[in-house]
């Protein structure tokens, strides 16, 4: 406050040159702003046309009985009421949740194991990293056809291997009880994606932390629990969220390998949406299911983020950009 009153007199009278400069800077900033919108215009338009408007029209359609051919009639909450009483919805919800809640943790543990193995000085790291990542870029349609032949209960590859080791054959995707576990095993083939992210997380841990731990007498096990894991917790958060979002939306593999069967044992939510919308043309009902999926993903992501402050450790006190 005091400083304001004792300002040097010279500063109170801005010189004409000063004002000119400020005006010029303003116009420069204005020009920059215009160009900013210009350069961002594709994504502004794209967001509106392909995301925001469809998102809300999906909500609108979920209150109608639109069937692609006749005019959409407003039916209020009828689709949601129907969803509430639809045993298929509960089936697909539980199948999808069970799939996500098993395949994500198993995939995260497995991929962390692979990352720890590859983070050591072993022969041919680059080669093995490529081998484990290959399934991620492998076209899902082709992979599904291969796994379908391997799952064959009669003379498939998996049962041949089991018989070779004198183990009882498994029914894989041919029986309702074993179809979902089979799809989870299939999903684990793609754990290379999170493995890569674990690896880059491991590389960013400063080695002096391990040196300090070793000086304090920590063995490899202690080092893992007290240094590696806390330092990796932001990566775990990232992998967990990506894993939940993508596993709740499984479609291609299930459509090709099981088509939702047997007896809806692998009837994932997106399969339900696809079937309602593009096979039975119940766009309204399908939109209601799609919105429920959206809410489910938002809810689970928010839940993970909300609890993350308790278990995520950010080195340097705050989340670094």
Out of 24, 26, 68, 303, the residue judged to bind another protein by CB under 8 A: 68
Q: Which residue, 60 or 177, has its beta carbon nearer to another protein?
A: 60
The helix/strand/coil state of 223 is helix
> CB 175 → another protein: shortest distance, Å?
19
Closest CA to 115 of 214, 209, 226, 193: 193
Q: Which residue, 14 or 220, has its beta carbon nearer to another protein?
A: 220
Binding flag, residue 189, another protein (CB under 8 A): yes
Q: Which residue, 227 or 235, has its beta carbon nearer to another protein?
A: 235
Out of 98, 101, 145, 263, the residue judged to bind another protein by CB under 8 A: 145
* Residue with token string 């999808």: 96
Window contacting another protein (CB under 8 A); options: 11-19, 36-44, 89-97, 209-217 = 36-44
> CB 2 → another protein: shortest distance, Å?
34
Beta carbons within 10 angstroms of residue 75's beta carbon: 17
Q: Which residue, 81 or 299, has its beta carbon nearer to another protein?
A: 299
Interface mask toward another protein for 232-261; x: CB under 8 A: ---x--x--x---x--xx-xx--xx--x--
Binding flag, residue 156, another protein (CB under 8 A): yes
Residue 285 near residue 79, CB atoms below 8 Å:
yes
Binding flag, residue 24, another protein (CB under 8 A): no
For 188, what's the count of Cα atoms within 13 Å in the CB-facing half-sphere?
A: 19
Binding flag, residue 99, another protein (CB under 8 A): no
Closest CA to 195 of 144, 136, 274: 136
Beta carbons within 10 angstroms of residue 293's beta carbon: 20
Q: Which two tokens stand for residue 165?
A: 């080791």
Using a 10 angstrom Cβ sphere, with 0-12 exposed, 13-18 middle and 19 or more buried, the burial of residue 170 is middle
């Amino acid at each position: 406050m005091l400083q304001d009153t004792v300002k040097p007199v010279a500063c109170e009278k801005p010189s004409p040159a000063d004002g000119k400069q400020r005006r010029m800077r303003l116009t420069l900033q204005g020009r920059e702003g215009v160009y900013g919108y210009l350069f961002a215009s594709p994504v502004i338009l794209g967001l509106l046309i392909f995301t925001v408007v469809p998102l809300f029209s999906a909500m609108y359609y979920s209150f109608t009985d639109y069937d692609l051919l006749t005019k959409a009639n407003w039916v209020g909450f009828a689709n949601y009421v129907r969803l509430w009483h639809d045993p298929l919805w509960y089936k697909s919800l539980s199948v999808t949740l069970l799939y996500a809640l098993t395949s994500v943790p198993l995939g995260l543990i497995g991929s962390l194991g692979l990352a720890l193995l590859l983070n050591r000085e072993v022969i041919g790291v680059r080669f093995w990293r490529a081998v484990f990542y290959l399934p991620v870029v492998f076209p899902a349609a082709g992979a599904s056809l291969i796994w379908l032949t391997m799952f064959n209960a009669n003379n498939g590859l998996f049962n041949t291997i089991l018989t070779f080791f004198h183990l009882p054959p498994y029914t894989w995707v041919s029986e309702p009880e074993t179809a979902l576990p089979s799809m989870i095993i299939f999903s684990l083939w793609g754990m290379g994606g999170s493995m890569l992210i674990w690896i880059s997380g491991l590389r960013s841990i400063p080695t002096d932390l391990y040196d300090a731990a070793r000086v304090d007498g920590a063995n490899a096990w202690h080092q893992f629990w007290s240094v590696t894991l806390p330092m990796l917790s932001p990566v775990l958060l990232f992998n967990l969220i990506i894993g939940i979002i993508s596993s709740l939306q499984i479609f291609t593999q299930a459509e090709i390998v099981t088509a939702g069967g047997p007896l809806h044992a692998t009837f994932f939510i997106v399969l339900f949406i696809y079937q309602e919308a593009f096979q039975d043309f119940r766009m309204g009902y399908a939109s209601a299911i799609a919105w429920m999926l959206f809410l489910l993903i938002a809810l689970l992501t928010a839940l993970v983020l909300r609890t993350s402050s308790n278990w995520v450790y950010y080195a340097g006190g705050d989340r670094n950009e």
